[in-house]
Amino acid sequence: MTTVTDHKRQMHLNLFIQGVGHHEAAWRHPGTDPWNMMDIRYYQTLAREAEAAKFDAVFIADALAINSNVQYGPFNNFFEPFTLLAAIAATTERIGVIGTASTTYSEPYDVARKFASLDRVSNGRAGWNIVTSGNEHAAQNFGQDAHMPHAERYARATEFLEVTTALWDSWEADALVADRAGGVFVDRSKVHAIKHRGPFFQVDGPLDFPRPPQGWPVLVQAGSSESGRAFAAQFAEAIYTAQNRLEDAQAFYADVKTRMRSYGRTPDQLCILPGIAPIIGRTAAEAKAREAELNQYIVPQYGLTQLSQHFNIDLFAYPLDGPMPELPAPESINGGRSRAQIYMDMARRGNLTIRQLIQAIAFARGHDTFAGTPMEIADHMEQWFTSGACDGFNLLGPTLPADFHAFVALVLPELRRRGLFRTEYEGTTLRDHFGLRVPANRFAPAPVMGVE
C-alpha cells in the first residue's frame, strides 16, 4: 500500500485530548507532566498544533462522577467541556471543537443554549458528543437513587434531541435585524415557540439565543449498543466508535449506514470515526519496545477497578494471572454496555488472563491499538479507510503531547503522500470539514424551486 493514488475521498482526523495521554499510566511516564491537566495553555497549545496539522476537530470527553480508581490514575480531563472548549476556540480559527454533554443528567434548554453559544464563539466549529452516561455513580450526583435503565436512557435521549434541535430552529436565520432607525431589534414573526410536550420534557421555547452559525452544532454520538446504533442512524452526523478488529469495524459501518435509510438519510450524512492508538517506532521492534515500556507503569488496581465496574464482578477476588471468571450477559449491564461487550469479546477471543486483559485495554480502553513503523501505521489506517470500516479516525495518543507530535511528524506526511488526508482546510466550519450540509430550519418557509 505504498503507491501514490488519486483519492477523491479523504479521511477525517480528530485529536481526542484526554489528560496527558490515553494510556492509563501515561501520567507516570517520564515524558509527560501530569500537572498539565490543570493548565489551560496545555490544551490550547495541543489544539493549535492539531489545527496546524489540519485536523478536523479536537474532541473532549466528560464524566459526571469521579471514578473509584482515581487514586491510581486520572479518569478524565478535570475541566468541564464548555469552559475548556470556549478557551480553545478563542485561540484557534479553523479546527472544530467537540464536547460531551449527557442527555440523562442535563436539560434540553440548557444544553441547546450552551452549544448555540459555543458555536457562535467558535464561528461555527462546535460539535456535541451526545452520551446517555455510562457511569452509574452519576445518578447520586444528580438527585437520583439509581442510574436510569438503558432503554429508558435512550428514549429520553431521543426526545432530548427532538427538543434541542427544535430550539436551535426556533430563530429563523434573519430574525435578528437590529434596525436602529426603525426601532426593531428582532422580527418577532421569525422567532417561534416550540411548545414541546412529551413524556420526559415540557419546553415552551423559543431559545433566548439566535440560531447557531451551523444551524445545529454537528451531532456526534458515542454508543455502539443496539440502542446506540438505532439512535446514531436517526440523529448522528459523526460516530466515535470502538472496534479493534477490521471485520468488526466493517460490520458496524455497514450496519449503521444501512439503518440510516429507514430514517430517510443517506450514508454521506454520517462520518464513522473509530478510535486508534498508534504506537510509533522507527522499526517494528522499537514500537513493540515502547508498548512494553508503557505497560511497565500500569498499576493493576486501576484496571481491576475499571473492569469490575464494567462487568459488575469483583475481580479483586480472583488471581491476576488466572483466567477470567464467568462473565455476565451484556444485556444485564446498565452502564456502558457496548464497552463491556468489547472487553468481554477481547477476553474470550484471546483466552486472556485478568492481567492480560488489563494490559490489552490500557492503551485505549478497547479501541484499536497498533504498534509499528510510520509506514505500517499508515498501511493499517489506509486498509480500514478503503475497505468499508471507517470514514476516518479519532486519534488517541498513548502519551501527550509526545505521541501526537510523532504522529504528525512521521505518519501524517505518509497519509498525505497517498492522497488520504488534506493539506489545507477547504472551509471554515466543522460541517465544512466533515462535508455535512446545514440542516433546514423547520420553521422557515420552504424555498421555492428554482428560486435562490
Cell numbers standing for residue 315: 475481580
Share of the chain residues as helix, strand and coil, in percent rounded to the nearest 5: 45, 15, 45
Cell reading at 368? 484499536
The answer to whether residue 157 is domain-embedded is: yes
Q: What is the DSSP track for 239-276?
A: EEE---SHHHHHHHHHHHHHHGGGGT--GGG-EEEEEE
Joined grid coordinates for residue 50: 492539531
What are the C-alpha distances in Å from 247 to residues 139, 242, 250, 256? Answer: 36, 13, 5, 14
What's the pLDDT band for 61 if we cut at 50, 70, 90? very high
- How do residues 38-53 score in pLDDT, each as one tens digit? 999 999 999 999 999 9
Task: Please check whether residue 346 lies inside any domain of the structure.
Answer: no
Contact status, residue 324 vs residue 354, Cβ threshold 8 Å: yes
Three-state DSSP class for residue 107: coil
The answer to whether the beta carbons of residues 393 and 381 sit under 8 Å apart is yes
How far, in Å, CA of 429 to CA of 338, rounded?
A: 31
- The whole-number pLDDT of residue 216 equals 98
Question: What type of residue sits at position 118?
Answer: L
Asked if the structure places residue 377 within a domain, the reply is yes
Residue 185 has pLDDT above 90, yes or no: yes
Which residues does 230 contact at the CB level (< 8 Å), separation at least 6? 154, 259
3-state secondary structure (DSSP) of residue 392: strand
- Within a domain: 352: no
Give the pLDDT of residue 336.
67
Residue 299 belongs to some domain of the structure: no
Give the pLDDT band of residue 6 (cuts 50, 70, 90): very low
pLDDT band per the 50, 70, 90 thresholds, residue 335:
low
More confident position, 452 or 378 = 378
Q: Pairing relation of β-strands 96-102 and 126-131?
A: parallel
Dump pLDDT digits (tens) for 186-239.
999 999 999 999 999 999 999 999 999 999 999 999 877 888 899 999 999 999
Residue 449, pLDDT score: 54
Look up residue 305 and give its DSSP letter. H
Please write the tens of the pLDDT for every residue from 233-275. Answer: 999 999 999 898 999 999 999 999 999 999 999 999 999 999 9
CA–CA gap between residue 258 and residue 266 (Å, rounded): 9
| pLDDT grade for 447, boundaries at 50, 70 and 90 | low
Q: How far is CA 446 from CA 77, 266, 295, 370, 443, in A?
A: 43, 21, 58, 49, 9
Q: Which residues contact 412 (CB under 8 A, 6 or more apart)?
A: 53, 421
Q: Of 169, 112, 187, 104, give the one whose Cα is nearest residue 143.
A: 104
> CA angle, 108 as apex, 104 and 109 as ends, to 5°?
145
Query: Which range, 5-19, 92-106, 306-320, has the best average confidence (pLDDT)?
Result: 92-106
Residue 409, domain CATH:
3.20.20.30
What's the confidence (pLDDT) of residue 451? 46
Q: Do residues 99 and 89 lie in contact, with contact meaning Cβ atoms separated by under 8 Å?
A: no
Please indicate, yes or no, if residue 271 is contained in any of the structural domains. yes
| Cα end-to-end span (Å), the chain | 45
Note whether residue 243 is domain-resident. Answer: yes
Spell out where 48-173 has E strands. Answer: 57-60, 96-102, 126-131
Tell me what the mean pLDDT of segment 67-82 comes to: 85
127 within some domain: yes
User: How large is the angle between the packed helices 108-121 and 150-169, nearest 10 degrees?
Assistant: 50
Judge whether 297 and 29 are in contact, CB under 8 Å: yes
Q: Give the pLDDT of residue 1.
A: 45
pLDDT for the residue 367: 86
Residues 37, 43, 45, CA angle at the centre, nearest 5°? Answer: 130
In angstroms, how far is CA 27 from the centroid of its own chain?
Answer: 22
Q: Rg for the chain (alpha carbons), in Å? A: 22
**DSSP label at 408?**
I
* Residue environment code for 91-121, b if the CB has 16+ CB neighbours within 10 A, otherwise e: ebebbbbbbbbbbbbbebbebbbbbbebbbb
Task: Determine how many CB atoms are found less than 10 A away from the CB of residue 203.
Answer: 22
* 368: alpha, beta or left? (left if phi > 0; alpha if psi -120 to 50): beta
Q: Which of 88-102, 395-409, 410-424, 433-447 comes out lowest in average pLDDT?
A: 433-447
User: Cell 446504533 sits at which residue?
Assistant: 229
Confidence (pLDDT) at 33: 97
pTM above 0.85, yes or no: yes
Residue 408 and residue 49 in contact, taking contact as beta carbons nearer than 8 Å: yes
| Mean pLDDT across 355-361 | 87
**pLDDT per position as a tens digit, 22-36:** 999 999 999 999 999
- Give the DSSP letter of residue 191: B
Q: Are 215 and 441 in contact (CB under 8 A)?
A: yes
The count of domains in the chain is: 1
Q: Which ranges constitute the DSSP H helices of 21-127?
A: 40-52, 81-90, 108-121
| Residue 294 reports pLDDT greater than 90 | yes
pLDDT tens readout for residues 76-127: 788 999 999 999 999 999 999 999 999 999 999 999 999 999 999 999 999 9
Give the range of the structural domain holding residue 270, as residue numbers without chain letter: 12-283+369-434
Distance, CA of 203 to CA of 310 (rounded, Å)? 35
**Joined grid coordinates for residue 183:** 426601532
Q: What is the mean pLDDT of the chain?
A: 92
Strand partners, 188: none
